[in-house]
Amino acid sequence: MYSLKVHKDTDKVIQLLKLCLYAGSNQAERIVGQYGEDPTRELLGIDEGGELAGVMGVQFLPDGTVVLAHLAVSESRRKQGIGTKLIKEFMTRYPEVLKLVVETDRDAVDFYRKAGFQVTSLGEKYPGVERFLCTLKP
């Protein structure tokens, strides 16, 4: 796992980020810029087979909580444990983290549950869309 703030292939980072966004590349470019400018944010990547296989974007809060804002794995590398590996390596690399939280939808909640997160329903935050708060403590 390594920081993507100075990654040589920004296009690959943007393509991966687009996988976890409901928007186009302009928003992904803006998000990459935010990670580069904001010292409370970190954009991390992991290589598999010599290529960027996954990205994880987080924001550190003053109380020891970290918000997992973005997690994406290359479509050709899914179902290989890369997302879980990113999370586990993150928690090992940052032992000061008291909890890692992410808000997600029904499509991804089982992934977080299998990765060891405690899951709480937030109810229907948007019409017809149930959201979940997932929390992982060391």
Could you please report the per-residue DSSP string of 24-61? -HHHHHHHHHHHHH-TTEEEEEEEETTEEEEEEEEEE-
pTM: 0.86
CATH of the domain spanning 2-136: 3.40.630.30
User: In order along the chain (138 residues), what is the average pLDDT of each group of 10 residues?
Assistant: 72 82 72 86 90 93 95 88 94 94 93 96 88 94
Domain boundaries, the chain: 2-136
